[in-house]
Structure 1
Amino acid sequence: MDLYLKNALDCSRKTTLNYSTSFSLGVRSLDYETQKAIYAIYGFVRFADEIVDTFYDQDQEAVFSDFVQQTDEAITASFSTNPILHSFQWVVHKYDIDQAYIDAFLKSMEMDLKMTVHDKNSFDTYVYGSAEAVGLMCLCVFCAGDREKFSKLVSPARKLGSAFQKINFLRDLKDDFKDRGRNYFPGVDFNRFDDDLKHRLETEIQQEFDEAFEGILALQSSVRLGVLLAYTYYNELLIKIKRTPAHAIMNKRCRISDQYKMWLLFKVLVKNQIYSI
């Protein structure tokens, strides 16, 4: 690997470590080559998300438009002076990631600049681009060119991404609804959010989790461990959300302690060994 690419991939890895200790924990359980690729995807996704969620003192639309253009140029030229985009174009070409997934993701990020309330169609579009398409990018890496396996796992991968995103929506209600004025769930008035409505959303998420689980078991052992860890972590978040009254969800962000995350890691290591038998 040439020094410039190594440095670019290191930047993506550092970005992942800085922004998400939970996600980093799962990635570290993957083999080295897979780690590099997933870090490259996460770095790209994080930078785009950061533009639309953080840079309020900037012209966000102009900054995001420039980011999209730089992304296109990086993929076309197989090179970028932006290390995050250089590492991303590398993973796109190495694992033949469909441009449609990238476009869907960027479209969802752009929606965050322009929309605060969603109907059913825009919600489905947003969840697909912001979560399911990202999951499919990762699935391209996990399947490493095995198109038959990829096709079989597309549906569970999408279900898992959707479940993850909806849990994020519930966990981040305070930041999204109260602070940013965003309402992702169609037809839901969070000024009148109650336990019955919360239970309906949780049931929908649980069903997606259950459907996704069979797909996780079909992954090879070395890859399955990292995905299973993410699944277990988010399932624990869902359990915690279920135990938290609707009024409290609106005022605090549910979290899993670092100590408990380590216990989950141990638990998942044991489970993965059992599933490999």
Structure 2
Amino acid sequence: MTGLALYTAAARRASATVIEAYSTSFGMASRLLPPGMRGDIQSVYALVRVADEIVDGPGAEAGLGTAECRERLDALEAEVQRALACGFSTDLVVHAFAETARRVGITADQTTPFFAAMRRDLEPVAFQSEDELRDYVYGSAEVVGIMCVRCFFAGRTLPDAEARRVARGARALGSAFQVVNFLRDLGADADGLGRAYLPGVDPAHPTPEAVGRVLDRLEGELRIARATIPSLPAEARPAVIAAHDLFASLARRIRATPADELPRRRISVPPAEKALIVAAAATRASIVRARAPRPATRPARSELAR
């Protein structure tokens, strides 16, 4: 292996180290994917994580002010767009993302709203309406779900109705993941970053009723996503089931926690339970694979971009 192929392989390895360092749950689930698909997901995750870190503290810890963090985020987005156009970047994470994106059909339709959501986090957040929350979650999480689906199908097309169903499931799962994290990080987001994402939930004094409403909604999204999994390629299902079930377990633990403790406790799923969930997901997915025919075609890009 020489030239561009060697450079791309090195870039993909660099992206793999990011998910290993930052994500236990998502990392465990992604290991259930076949190597090529796993590398694509790792490339997406790495770019998303780097952008997130610009706005979530490391930049400020390094001495950058808000304006400088904005400049770095703008520069990262510009580099992504250049790499999407030409297929090369001197930034290894961007290069790995662009190589994946060009091959599977991720476009500015996904990256533009994502970077817009990241830019929103450069200033204090206090969402007052569901519309504000939905707009933010679409850019910060739902389009990432679409990117992952693009990696799973890698350009193949589905009939329009099935493509819309898969896209809805991907967006629902991304949204559920994000909102679970909002609840888990309620105190840290408010105290450390000046963010109150959930309308109607006082991050300092959340009530059981307010937390329950948020959990009801995100559990509905998890059900939508779960029902969509049989429409995914067979080789992607174990990882998606595992990710779904890990976050469903986290949601159950949050529901079982007194609301007034949430600002002071970061709820997590114990490592042993995570391992059991991942093992069970692999077993259940093998049963689903045997019962459900694999889609013969790929999801329509025009639908999955929405």
Provide the TM-score with structure 1 as the length reference.
Answer: 0.96
Q: Give 1:207 shift.
A: 0.9
Say whether 1:122 aligns with 2:132: yes
Tell me the residue number matched to 2:301: none
Contact 1:75 1:89 in 2 (8 A): yes
Cα RMSD for the two superposed structures = 1.4
2:171 to 158, 165, 175: 158
Contact 1:95–1:144 (Cα < 8 Å) also in 2: yes
Deviations 1:222-271 (A, max 9, x none): 10000000001000000100100111111011111222211112221221
Other-structure match for 1:209: 222
Please tell me the residue identity of whatever aligns with 1:30: L
Q: Please give the secondary structure, in 2, of the residue aligned with 1:190.
A: coil
User: SS state of the match for residue 90, structure 2?
Assistant: coil
Contact 2:138–2:175, Cα closer than 8 Å, also in 1: yes
Please list every run of 5 or more consecutive structure 2 residues that lacks an aligned counterpart in the other structure: 291-306
Partner of 1:272: 285
The separation in 1 between residues aligned to 2:155 and 2:15, in whole angstroms, is 23
Partner residue, 2:144: 134
1:179 aligned to which of 192, 199, 203: 192
| Larger RCO: 1 or 2 (CA < 8 Å, sep 6+) | 2
Between stretches 231-240 and 194-203, larger displacement belongs to 194-203
Q: Report the Cα distance in structure 1 between the residues aligned to 2:204 and 2:19, rounded to whole angstroms.
A: 34
Alpha-carbon offset, residue 61 of structure 1: 1.3
What SS does the corresponding residue of 1:80 show, helix, strand or coil?
coil
Counterpart among 246, 249, 252 of residue 239 in structure 1: 252
Residues 139 and 150 in structure 1, CA contact (< 8 A), matched pair in contact too: no
Q: Does 1:5 align with 2:8?
A: yes
Deviation at 1:191, TM superposition (A): 3.6
3-state SS in 1 of match to 2:188? helix
Following the alignment from structure 2 to structure 1, what is the Cα–Cα distance between the partners of residues 176 and 143? 13
2:200–2:210 CA contact under 8 A, matched in 1: no
Matched, 1:95 2:104: yes
Q: Give 5+ residue unaligned stretches, structure 1.
A: none
Deviation at 1:146, TM superposition (A): 2.3
Find the counterpart in structure 1 of residue 203 from structure 2.
Answer: 190
Greater per-residue helix proportion: 1
2:240 maps to 1:227: yes
Q: 1:254 aligns with which of 267, 272, 278?
A: 267
Residue type at the aligned position of 1:43? A
What's the secondary structure of 2:122's corresponding residue?
Answer: helix
Residue type of the partner of 2:50?
F
Which moved further from structure 2: 19-28 or 33-42? 19-28
Residue 71 of structure 1 aligns with an amino acid whose one-letter code is: V
Residue 55 of structure 2 aligns with an amino acid whose one-letter code is V
Match of residue 30 from structure 2: 27
Distance 2:199 2:256 in 1: 23
8 Å contact kept, 1:142–1:223 = yes
**How many residue pairs get matched?**
277
- Please tell me the residue identity of whatever aligns with 2:46: G
- Distance in 2 (CA, whole Å) between partners of 1:40 and 1:150 is 23
